[in-house]
Amino acid sequence: MTPIQECIKNNNHKIKPIWIMRQAGRYLPEFREIRSKNPDFVKLCLNENLSSEITLQPIKRFDFDAAIIFSDILMLPYGLGQEVKFEKGLGPKLGELDLDLIANVNKDEFSKKLNPIYKSISNISSNSICKNKDIIGFVGAPWTILVYMINKMSPKKSLSKEIFNDKLFVKELLSVIEKFLKIHIENQIKAGATLIQIFDSWAGLLEDNISKFIYEPTLNLVNHVKKFDVPVICFPRGVKDYKIFCEIVKPDMVNIDYNIDPKKIINEIQIPVQGGLDPKILLTDKENLNTEAIKYLQIFKDHPYVFNLGHGILPETKIEMVQELVKTVRDFK
């Protein structure tokens, strides 16, 4: 059994697998090299040879226990025909949203558009470097995808609350998003993903209607993944109460963000836990990194735990700090 599956399915707390969110990314010189020759990010995600190569880059360097496929949560709106662009320093920019067009996209058309992603997963799962490693497929949670599709850019820049006023529109859009997220999940599993992670990066933005926008649609996705006997990890970043989230949504494992007190979580949550370390710790020094990483390892010593961060690794992170982190986790007894 692959390491994360072993943690989840056998409740094994003796192994501490490690991988890192955004491990295939800009902190790696070999990624930056490919990226500099490929200015169009979406095209890069749809180049199955390059996306396979990028997925394997962090595995070759650090021998992580899991490979996460190089793609993006915004490939879903792209697959539905909404334009998606990534501009330097601006983050993602999405085009006009036409609900009538999107609601009429058919399953085959969508799957065909995203087919290089599935081919890349299948390449990776048959590569000997990934023997006994988890292959992580992923999607954005319905709420986070809804926010990007309506807001057309990162809500970090600005989010107009009025866009949620048209309740019928939002309801219909959410249902189309959910339908295609299920298809995208199923396609990734059929291509060889051994695990699915659901990223709800903007869960923390919502104050009301958490059931309608977060619990219910995420539970629907979690139940969908479970049908394939593949474990599912949820990352509801910033959500106020992880305990309630886990009780309602019932993922197989939960990734905590760096604002969560791990000591509190261990008393509240029975399911396997992943992550937590603040990515900014990797920008400090080795001594501090060791102290902070060991804190998580100690707290989760007797709990099924996968080492990871509390959000994506920062582009300015030095390679040697990642090496140090992997060594600390592997040496921990």
Interacting residue with ligand CP3 among 4, 8, 21, 75 (CB under 6 A)? 21
Question: Does residue 258 belong to the site contacting ligand CP3 (CB under 6 A)?
Answer: no
Q: What is the DSSP letter of 39?
A: -
* C-alpha closest to that of 214 among 236, 229, 189, 247: 236
Which one among 12, 125, 127, 154 touches ligand CP3, defined by CB under 6 A?
Answer: 154
CA distance 288 to 63: 23
Please write down the long-range contacts of 265-268, taking CB distance under 8 Å and 24 or more positions apart.
266/299, 266/300, 266/303, 268/242, 268/243
**Which of 69, 77, 141, 152 shows the shortest CA–CA distance to 113?**
77
Euclidean distance between CA atoms 211 and 220, whole angstroms: 12
Shortest distance (Å) from residue 226 CB to ligand CP3:
21
The region, left, alpha or beta by phi > 0 then psi within -120 to 50, assigned to residue 125 is alpha
Which range of residues in 84-92, 254-262, 271-279, 294-302 is near ligand CP3 by CB under 6 A? 84-92
Residue, CB closest to ligand CP3: 201
Nearer to ligand CP3, 60 or 263 (CB): 60
Cα 185 from Cα 262, distance rounded (Å): 29
User: Is residue 26 at the binding interface for ligand CP3, with CB under 6 A as the rule?
Assistant: yes
Tokens of 16: 């501490």
Shortest Å distance, C-beta 85 to ligand CP3 = 11
Residues 181-200 that bind ligand CP3 (CB under 6 A): 199
Among 74, 185, 189, 191, binds ligand CP3 (CB under 6 A): 74
- Please report, as residue ranges, which positions from 111 to 150 form the binding site for ligand CP3 (by CB under 6 A): 138
Using the rule CB under 6 A, give the single segment among 64-72, 210-218, 239-247, 250-258 that binds ligand CP3.
Answer: 64-72
Confirm or reject binding of residue 91 to ligand CP3 (CB under 6 A).
Answer: yes
- Phi and psi torsions of 138, nearest 5°: -150, 160
- Cβ at position 88, least distance to ligand CP3 in Å: 7
Question: Does residue 22 belong to the site contacting ligand CP3 (CB under 6 A)?
Answer: yes
Backbone angles phi, psi at 130, to 5 degrees: -95, 15
282 in contact with ligand CP3 (CB under 6 A): no
Can you state the percent helix, strand and coil of the chain, rounding each to 5? 50, 10, 35
Q: Please pick, from the candidates 5, 23, 111, 255, the single residue that binds ligand CP3 as defined by CB under 6 A.
A: 23
Contacting positions for ligand CP3 (CB under 6 A): 21-26, 35, 41, 68, 70-74, 86, 91-92, 138, 154, 199, 201, 312
